[in-house]
């Protein structure tokens, strides 16, 4: 009985395994049939793409890449990626090839013997029947080549690394300012008259105090920049931009125009009184030049903060405002030269007044010449620095410092030193 039950269980187990095998085979055939059907659908009629053009034929939307505000990279890692990251410079050997085979950066110096093929232990055929081995070739160490990694830009020139030029500019502006103001203080405390006129003494003191204030304002701007203030980092390229310069120019250049126009009007007034006519140079001309000067500086400031092509629109606007300034200064110079004959006649009839007028002419021409020459080079530096980034931040600081010292300290020295009226 037990034997019969055992045989029956064994037979049932074999029947179940056979049925499972058949079911797996049927599923496998069904999967292959489904795969063939799918393949025929894509490769033959392509019914999936033709039937639903709305889902497969529409173009994907295009999104504008977000703007990235670049910051200044440190000098230890000056290589900047467009994403804003900074990386240090890397050094590697130059790979040189000899006979079509790269030497992995090592330069071959000499062969062990003639006929050697450059291999280590390579056999050389001899006439005695024995194989001889040539000495191995010697190679020099690779030449290191340092630079920024691929895809990055070297931004080491975008940051002012040395502030010594700013400290020198501060000293060359502050010391003359103190001298001009001391000169002015002497005029204010002098109870005596100059050439018998207190008006002349007050006029000389006013010119000297204006010259002193011009250099004081400029020295304050350089002190601000030298101590690490008065600048921003432009988001578009990570370059350091010192806006303190433009604040300085906004305060000092109108005072310089006032100095020049005052000297020109003094000469025109002396000649007009001699001839009994109205002065040809009026205060309205000075107001016009100051207004154009402010437009020139403000438009240049706006252009400096823009990195796109529209910056040149503001630069052109600034130059349009700059042209009338140069034209007017040169026009005044021609007018004063035409008065030379009248001044010479005035010196014969009134030597003191004629000498004063001649001194004013000399002061104006010297101050005008240095102003026109230095102001002409400011736009050139702007194009090379803020405009195109051709020169580094260090070179930009040097150029602007030289121009500021010439246009302010030397300008003030001409005004103050030559304001002494002839005795």
DSSP 348: H
Can you give the pLDDT at residue 134? 59
User: What does the alpha-carbon distance between residue 410 and residue 46 come to, in Å, rounded to a whole number?
Assistant: 84
pLDDT digits (tens, 9 = 90+) for 331-345: 888 888 877 777 777
- 158 touches 240 (CB < 8 A): yes
Terminal C-alpha separation, the chain: 155
* Fold topology of 160-417: Rhopdopsin 7-helix transmembrane proteins (1.20.1070)
More confident residue, 57 or 63: 63
- 414 touches 370 (CB < 8 A): yes
Can you give the pLDDT at residue 45? 44
User: What does the alpha-carbon distance between residue 412 and residue 249 come to, in Å, rounded to a whole number?
Assistant: 15
**CB neighbourhood size of 18 (10 A):** 10
pLDDT digits (tens, 9 = 90+) for 269-317: 877 777 766 667 778 888 999 999 999 999 999 999 998 889 999 999 9
* Residue 217: pLDDT over 90: yes
| Spans of all domains in the chain | 67-89+148-155, 94-112+120-144, 160-417
Cβ partners under 8 Å of residue 349, min gap 6: none
pLDDT digits (tens, 9 = 90+) for 139-150: 666 566 678 888
- 422 touches 347 (CB < 8 A): no
H or E segment to which residue 90 belongs:
strand 90-93
Choice among 41-55, 295-309, 353-367 with the minimum mean pLDDT: 41-55
Can you give the pLDDT at residue 420? 55
* Residue 95: pLDDT over 80: no
Residue 281 structure tokens: 């140079």
Question: Taking the C-alpha atoms of 388, 247, 67 and 83 in order, what is their torsion angle to the nearest 10 degrees?
Answer: 70
User: What does the alpha-carbon distance between residue 254 and residue 217 come to, in Å, rounded to a whole number?
Assistant: 12
pTM as predicted: 0.69
User: What does the alpha-carbon distance between residue 385 and residue 378 come to, in Å, rounded to a whole number?
Assistant: 10
Can you give the pLDDT at residue 99? 42
Cβ partners under 8 Å of residue 167, min gap 6: 222, 226
CA 56 from chain centre, in angstroms, equals 48
User: What does the alpha-carbon distance between residue 329 and residue 371 come to, in Å, rounded to a whole number?
Assistant: 9
């Amino acid at each position: 009985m037990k034997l019969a039950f055992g045989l029956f269980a064994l037979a049932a187990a074999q029947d179940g395994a056979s049925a499972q095998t058949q079911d797996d085979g049927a599923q496998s055939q069904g999967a292959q049939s489904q795969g063939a059907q799918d393949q025929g659908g894509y490769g033959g009629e392509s019914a999936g793409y033709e039937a639903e053009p709305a889902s497969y034929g529409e173009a994907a939307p295009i999104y504008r890449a977000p703007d990235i505000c670049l910051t200044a990279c440190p000098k230890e890692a000056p290589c900047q990626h467009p994403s804003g990251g900074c990386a240090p410079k890397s050094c590697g050997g130059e790979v040189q090839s000899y006979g079509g085979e790269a030497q992995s950066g090592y330069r071959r110096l000499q062969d062990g013997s003639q006929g050697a093929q450059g291999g280590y232990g390579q056999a050389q055929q001899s006439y005695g029947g024995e194989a001889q081995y040539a000495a191995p070739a010697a190679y020099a160490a690779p030449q290191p080549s340092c630079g920024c990694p691929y895809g990055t830009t070297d931004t080491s020139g975008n940051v002012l690394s040395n502030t010594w030029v700013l400290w020198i500019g501060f000293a060359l502006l502050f010391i003359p300012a103190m001298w001009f103001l001391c000169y002015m203080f002497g005029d204010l405390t002098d109870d005596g008259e100059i050439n018998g006129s207190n008006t002349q003494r007050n006029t000389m003191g006013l010119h000297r105090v204006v010259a002193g204030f011009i250099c004081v304002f400029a020295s304050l701007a350089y002190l601000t920049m030298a101590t690490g203030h008065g600048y921003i980092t432009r988001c578009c390229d990570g370059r350091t931009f010192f806006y303190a310069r433009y604040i300085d120019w906004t305060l000092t250049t109108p005072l310089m125009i006032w100095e020049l126009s005052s000297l020109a009007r003094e000469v025109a007034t002396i000649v007009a009184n001699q001839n009994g006519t109205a002065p040809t140079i009026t205060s309205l001309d000075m107001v016009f030049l100051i207004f154009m000067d402010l437009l020139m500086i403000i438009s240049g400031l706006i252009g400096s903060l823009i990195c796109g092509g529209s910056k040149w629109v503001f630069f052109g606007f600034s130059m349009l405002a700059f042209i009338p300034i140069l034209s007017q200064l040169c026009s005044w110079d021609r007018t004063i030269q035409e008065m030379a004959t009248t001044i010479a006649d005035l010196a014969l009839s009134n030597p003191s007044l004629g000498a004063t007028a001649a001194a004013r002419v000399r002061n104006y021409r010297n101050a005008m010449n240095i102003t026109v020459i230095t102001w002409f080079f400011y736009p050139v530096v702007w194009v090379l620095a803020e405009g195109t980034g051709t020169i580094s931040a260090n070179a930009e600081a040097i150029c602007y410092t030289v121009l500021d010292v010439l246009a302010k300290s030397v300008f003030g020295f001409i005004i103050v030193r030559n304001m002494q009226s002839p005795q």
